Every structure is written in C-alpha cells, then in structure tokens.
C-alpha cells in the first residue's frame, strides 16, 4: 500500500483532476499535476504544478523520481507517457487500457471482438469505406476516432452523401460511422477495480445531453432493476477484460429496452460527480484508493440526487454581456451543493462547475434541480 504522506502524480489538470487532488489531500497525500495549461483547475490546487507537455521528458523524469504512483484524468495522455511512468512507478490505468478508450476505432473493435452489446458501426479510413457502408447505418453519426469530446468531431449524417461531405470536412481523419439509435435514455456506470480484480460499482446514472454535452445526471436512473444490473454487470466485465485498475466509466445507450455500450472513459466521469454529495465515498476517493492499493470502499448511497452542469453560457446575460451567474439564488436552496472549478475564462460550452441537489425523494430533487437550472437561464 502507498500511504500518506506519499506524493501522487496526476496527468491532466482539469476538473476531474482537481477533485482527485482534493480527495488525495483529504487523505493525507501530496499531489503533483502535469498539465501544459498554466491556469489548469487541478494545477491551481496541487502541491506542485508541472506546467509542461504530456510528453515532456524532464517533467516525466521528475515525476518518476519523486512520485510514488501516477494516474490520469483524461484519455488523451500519450501511451508512451504512461508506458514510461509504468516502467518506473505504479501507474494506473495501464497504457493499453487507455489506448483502447482513446481511439473510437480500437474501442468499438474491442466491444465487437469481446461480444459486448453495441450499435451498428463501420470503420472509416477512406471514402470507399463510406461508399460501401451498410445502408442500415443511415441516418447515422460520423465521429472522428481521436480527440473528440462533448460532441466535438461529430456530424449527424442523413445519407451516404452527407457522410462523405462530413468525412471531407474532417479532412479524412480516421473515423467511425455509427447508426443513430432511437434512445429511450442514456445511462452510465462508474466503477473502481483494484489490482486483485475486486470491483465496486456506483449506482447507475441517467444522463441527459444537450447539444452533445452532458447536461443533467439523475441518480438512481429511472430504468428497471434488471436493466441497471445488466449495465453494471457489463461494465464490470469490460473492466475485467481490460485488466483495469482504477476508476472506469462506461456510457450506455438504452434503445428498445436494451442496453448498448456507447463508449468508455478510463477515469472518473462527469456523470459520477454526484458521488461527491450522495455517497459515502466519491469516485475520486476510490481513484486514490485503487491507485494506492488501499481496499476499495463499498459505496453506500444515502440520497437521491440530480446533478446539473454549469457551462460557460451561464456567465453571459441575454444580451451577451459577461456577468456572474446568480449564486445568491443557488446558495439559498437547501441541499443544493455548488462546485466551481476555478476556471478564469468562461466560454460557451465550457464546463465551469456543477451543482447537485440531494434528498430522499428523486421526484422532489428533480423538481428543485430543474427549477434552479431554469432560474439560471440554462436553455
């Protein structure tokens, strides 16, 4: 076991990394954050912020020399960085697992080869792949294989011609063409898995997206117990198949009453923020525990919860003028927990913070959260 006051390394300085730093601090660890952004949310509260690229040889050598273990908060860390660190200090998740989750072509192929339920898709490496694609794929979505997030690098395509146009607009980047599914809803499972293969799942979250970005997570998800168990079971099997150590999130589509894996994230997840306020252990504390070889907690969920993302759009008034959101109104709501990430530049679509409303009744919590969301002018 890696025990306090050891220093842990976090690759990536976003809000997920910031919550990891807070959890690790609470448990007595120090944290160094590697992120090229001087104002990164996690870097600002870290014991040390290495403001350098993810493949900076000097920064990586410093981490290997001074940190007891390393983990990541985003999937685009170069595999070579994880491999370099893994050869020197405990590094979780592995470069292999992250490599599968960071490329949609590899990810979908993994799902296919291992028999996990997924929607119809085609790999697109050339225009010919679109010309010959199954007609059942339309209407579809073309997604670039790498570096897409929050709906970026995606195009809705009604027809083969539209897919060709989108592929050209993406400059011939390797891509996936997916059939657009009629969604009953979307759900996600966040779990932690330790080096002995023990898995602890959090409850299933129901996720609503607006313009391709997570907007609201509702927990527990309003799906049948059978479906929720199936999603948790599949997520656990994926983690086992990846030989995963750490926190893994699996996003699912629910269509026609069945679950289909959408994608995996090799890190805590936006839809797991609720664990900070509605559970006895958060996804971030589990991430620290898995990394340090501490036994995982059995999460107990004491409240129903609804999480609402606060995008940079809330920092602008109806006339486009910059202003702070109405914190006074939000803070006056009982059992509403506000979290802000310390980002200085609000931009439309940028995740600036979130709030979670907790309570005994999901119906009541949802009503309060949606009313607060509306008061903030979120469209």
Residues at the contact surface with ligand ADP, assessed by CB under 6 A: 119, 141, 143, 148-151, 178, 180-181, 183, 186, 209, 212, 251, 262-263
CB-nearer residue toward ligand ADP: 180 or 350: 180
Give me the phi and psi of 275, to 5 degrees please.
Answer: -65, -20
CB-nearer residue toward ligand ADP: 141 or 192: 141
CB-nearer residue toward ligand ADP: 49 or 143: 143
For strands 246-255 and 121-124, give the pairing: unpaired
The Cα 283–Cα 265 span in angstroms is 13
Query: How deeply is 316 buried, as exposed, middle or buried, from its count of CB atoms within 10 A (0-12, 13-18, 19+)?
Result: middle
Name the binder of 313 from Mg ion, ligand ADP, none, CB < 5-8 A by kind: none
CB 273 within 8 A of CB 192: no
Q: List 309's β-bridge partners, or say none.
A: 354
CB-nearer residue toward ligand ADP: 32 or 252: 252
The Cα 374–Cα 61 span in angstroms is 48
Name the binder of 141 from Mg ion, ligand ADP, none, CB < 5-8 A by kind: ligand ADP
CB-nearer residue toward ligand ADP: 143 or 267: 143
Total residues contacting Mg ion by CB under 5 A comes to 1
CB-nearer residue toward ligand ADP: 147 or 327: 147
Q: Which stretch binds Mg ion (CB under 5 A): 39-47, 101-109, 244-252, 348-356?
A: 244-252
Least distance to ligand ADP from the beta carbon of 3, Å? 36
Least distance to Mg ion from the beta carbon of 302, Å? 28
Say how many CA atoms lie within 13 Å of 359 toward its Cβ.
Answer: 17
Q: Which residue is nearest to Mg ion (CB)?
A: 251
Q: Which stretch binds Mg ion (CB under 5 A): 43-51, 237-245, 250-258, 342-350?
A: 250-258
The Cα 195–Cα 128 span in angstroms is 44
The alpha helices in the chain, defined as continuous H runs, are 15-26, 57-66, 79-86, 95-101, 104-113, 127-131, 160-169, 225-242, 275-278, 283-292, 327-331, 362-375
Footprint of Mg ion (CB under 5 A): 251
């Amino acid at each position: 076991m890696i025990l306090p006051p050891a220093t842990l390394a976090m690759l990536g300085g976003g809000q997920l990394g910031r919550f990891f730093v807070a959890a690790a601090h609470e448990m007595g660890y120090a944290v160094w954050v590697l992120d090229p952004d001087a104002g990164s949310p996690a870097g600002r509260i870290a014991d040390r912020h290495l403001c350098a690229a993810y493949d900076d040889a000097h920064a990586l050598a410093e981490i290997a020399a001074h940190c007891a273990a390393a983990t990541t908060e985003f999937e685009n860390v170069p595999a070579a960085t994880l491999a370099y660190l893994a050869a020197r200090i405990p590094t979780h998740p592995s470069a292999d697992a992250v490599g599968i989750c960071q490329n949609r072509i590899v990810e979908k192929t993994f799902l296919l080869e291992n028999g996990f339920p997924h929607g119809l898709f085609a790999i697109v490496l050339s225009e010919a792949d679109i010309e010959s694609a199954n007609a059942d794929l339309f209407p579809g979505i073309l997604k670039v294989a790498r570096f897409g997030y929050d709906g970026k690098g995606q195009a809705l395509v009604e027809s083969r011609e539209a897919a060709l146009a989108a592929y050209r607009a993406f400059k011939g980047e390797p891509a996936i063409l997916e059939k657009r599914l009629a969604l009953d809803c979307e759900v996600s499972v966040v779990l932690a898995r330790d080096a002995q293969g023990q898995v602890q799942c959090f409850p299933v979250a129901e996720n609503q997206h607006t313009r391709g970005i997570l907007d609201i997570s509702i927990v527990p998800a309003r799906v049948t117990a059978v479906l929720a168990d199936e999603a948790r079971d599949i997520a656990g099997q994926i983690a086992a198949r990846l030989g995963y150590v750490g926190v893994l999130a699996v996003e699912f589509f629910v269509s026609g009453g069945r679950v289909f894996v959408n994608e995996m994230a090799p890190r805590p997840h936006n839809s797991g923020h609720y664990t900070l306020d509605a559970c006895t252990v958060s996804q971030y504390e589990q991430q620290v525990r898995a990394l340090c070889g501490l036994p995982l907690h059995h999460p107990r969920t004491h409240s129903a919860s609804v999480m609402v993302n606060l995008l940079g759009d809330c920092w602008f008034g109806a006339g486009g003028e910059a202003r702070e959101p109405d914190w006074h109104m939000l803070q006056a709501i009982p059992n509403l927990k506000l979290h802000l990430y310390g980002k200085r530049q609000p931009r439309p679509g940028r995740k600036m913070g979130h709030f979670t409303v907790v309570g005994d009744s999901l119906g009541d919590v949802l009503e309060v959260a949606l009313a607060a969301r509306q008061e903030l002018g979120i469209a």
